[in-house]
Amino acid sequence: MADLSALRAQAADMICRGDAWTDEINQLNALRQARGKTCVPGTPALLKFVPGEVRSVRNLLSRLDAISPDSDDGGGSPDHRDSELLPLVNKLQHSLTSNFPAAEVFWGIVKRCRGLVSLKREVSVHTFTPTCTLCSGVINTGNNPGRCPPIRRQSPKHLALVDAIVSDGEEWLRVIGLNERQVLMQMARMGWDWEEEEEEEEDEDDISILRSVRRLVSASAANPYNYKPPRIRVIFTRIRSGGQSPDIDLLINQLRSLPYVTVDCSDSQFLRSPVPDWETVAVERLMLDDMKGLTSTLNIDTTILINLASDISHTRVEIQEWHKPLIIQQIHSELSEEEEEGGGGGGTLHKKLYPALVGRRLVVTRPAAAQFLGIVRQIGSETENQRARLILDTNTDLTGDMIKSEGAAAGGWSGKRGDELRRGLQQLSIYPVPGDLHLPIQVIDTSTTDTTASEGSPGVGDEEREMERMSSVLRQLTRLNREVFLFGWRSGYTTVTGNNEAVKTIIRAIEDRSKRNKNKGEEGVVMMQGPTVWVYPYMRALITKGPPPQT
């Protein structure tokens, strides 16, 4: 029979490690929620699995202590005692060799990374455009005819598992815990012939490792981040590079030859580096920086202006019988946001939009500002009209002469006029207005503004060619959206928008252009960099003046 003292020590150690693992996940999610973010997708399933493993070991250890409380020489006849202990010891030994150690190794890998986005996510190899190579854009899904099917209805062959999405979305991790013997057995079962393994396409005869990574490569190309396929890091936790088997080395080299893929083995510098201390380093490094890359000047579009003026954003709106379902949904969403902080914690504007805007110069194109003021004047409530005038510091609808920047004349956002505008906005809001919110938002006349010397913009000599490329990408947008995104793109400013459909259209256009240029062999423009965009997902509508007139 096993040494019970050693077995107890192993069980106690696993319980301690499992509790620490659970505490770290909970701390990360609590910190994210305190900063206005949701829990890390994928953690709820892990928080069911690991505590369940620990609970099982704890229960078995308690039963073991009850049978043999003092020492290995517990009371009762040896035969009777052994008949009770043996099944219990076997169960405990099995539990100690369960999946928790693998989960612990996986979490240690994640803690070496930055910007955790998600855990255990399935991604699709569909491109979700009318030209998808898998469905040719002709699959009818009912609500979305001519689009790729939703992910829950896709074939498993068209889904790839990403163990962790890190670096704020730029990198995907695939962690493989097989040892050399297990991989070689997998190769033998598939009858893998290395002499024939030259093709890059997925093959039914591929071993599962190669098949899964090839699928990840396809999914990466179909799901670009910042106009580029995410990097794929394949990590073998129990296999060394340059090990005992030439076949294993060939497999690793073949994986490394795939696009976007890097491979780390157990002896790599990445895995040999110490796991960062949780309290002082790791937890902060894993926080998602969704404002990474925001420029010092932000190009604001009409959707964000409406968010800044909406009664739903600034007050607790009572639902009226004439409110449309969308308005009611947004009101409920704001109430839920407040309840997460125990009431009075602020809504989406205070917790999610203001943090992106504060401390940065805010500009808006004249057409976007004019459309915004026209919408507010037509359907906005009185308080929404007041906020609109404060945000832009104007009493006009911008259809006449260009407005005079009174704020600039009085010292800009940090001068007397800026203070007056923020105080005025505060009187119309139940949530704090940040002191470094740059008001007024500066209205830019894009017909006369030279943007070639702005942040990240192309050189003067390249401007004509660059403008032609940009205009061709934005051609599918409405005229107003085209002007807004073109201004931000040329200026090198991040465009802040709630118009996710427009952003998807831009991404698809850049992907299509890149594919066409690649087919033509135009290497210089294959990876065209599109406009920098920050999408704000919490849209708020104007509450409107009142019930629609009876007809």
Mean of per-residue pLDDT scores for the chain: 82
**Separation of alpha carbons 193 and 207, rounded Å:** 11
| 148, 132 contact by CB (below 8 A) | yes
Lowest mean pLDDT: which of 75-79, 259-263, 449-453, 492-496? 449-453
Q: What is the pLDDT of residue 400?
A: 43
Q: Is 344 helix (H, G, I), strand (E, B) or coil?
A: coil
Question: Which residues lie across from 261 on neighbouring strands?
Answer: 232
Residue-wise DSSP of 537-551 = --------SSSPPP-
Report the number of secondary-structure helices (H) and strands (E) in the chain. Answer: 21, 10
Q: What is the pLDDT of residue 340?
A: 62
Q: Which of 265, 237, 269, 231 is nearest to 249 (CA)?
A: 265
Q: Which of 361, 304, 256, 367 is nearest to 500 (CA)?
A: 304
Q: What is the pLDDT of residue 290?
A: 79
Q: What is the pLDDT of residue 408?
A: 43
Instruction: Determine the average pLDDT of the residues in 208-230.
Output: 90
Q: Which of 549, 550, 510, 538 is nearest to 346 (CA)?
A: 538
Classify residue 225 by its DSSP letter: B
Instruction: Determine the average pLDDT of the residues in 186-202.
Output: 65
Counting residues of the chain whose pLDDT is more than 70, the rounded percentage is: 76
Q: Quick one: three-class SS letters along 401-414?
A: CCCCCHHHHCCHHH
Tell me how crowded residue 450 is: count the other CB atoms within 10 A of its CB. Answer: 11
What is the helix, strand, coil percentage profile of the chain, to 5? 50, 10, 40
pLDDT in tens, 416-438: 888 999 999 999 999 999 999 99
In which element (H, E) is residue 442 found?
strand 442-444
**Separation of alpha carbons 121 and 174, rounded Å:** 11
Highest mean pLDDT among 52-66, 178-192, 353-367: 353-367
Q: What is the pLDDT of residue 460?
A: 45
Question: Which residues lie across from 165 on neighbouring strands?
Answer: 118, 172
Question: For residue 145, what pLDDT band results from cuts at 50, 70 and 90?
Answer: very low
Classify residue 431 by its DSSP letter: S
* pLDDT score of 262 more than 60: yes
| 425, 439 contact by CB (below 8 A) | yes
Q: What is the pLDDT of residue 143?
A: 47
What's the burial of 391, exposed, middle or buried (CB within 10 Å: 0-12/13-18/19+)? buried
* pLDDT score of 134 more than 70: no
Q: β-strand 118-124 against 159-166: which pairing, if any?
A: antiparallel
* pLDDT score of 450 more than 70: no
Question: For residue 470, what pLDDT band results from cuts at 50, 70 and 90?
Answer: confident
What is the residue extent of each domain of the chain? 4-98, 104-139+146-286, 302-444, 460-535
Residue-wise DSSP of 63-127 = HHHHHS-SSSS-SS-HHHHHHHHHHHHHHHHHHHTSSHHHHHHHHHHHHTSS---EEEEEEES--
Q: Which of 453, 476, 486, 537 is nearest to 365 (CA)?
A: 486
* pLDDT score of 366 more than 90: yes
pLDDT in tens, 503-542: 888 887 887 777 666 655 544 444 577 899 999 988 899 9
pLDDT in tens, 154-163: 777 788 999 9
264 or 1: whose pLDDT is higher?
Answer: 264
Q: Is 159 helix (H, G, I), strand (E, B) or coil?
A: strand
Count Cα neighbours of 87 within 13 Å in the Cβ-side half-sphere: 4
The pTM assigned to this predicted structure is 0.75
Extended beta strands in 242-387, E state: 261-264, 297-300, 361-365
Q: What is the pLDDT of residue 403?
A: 46
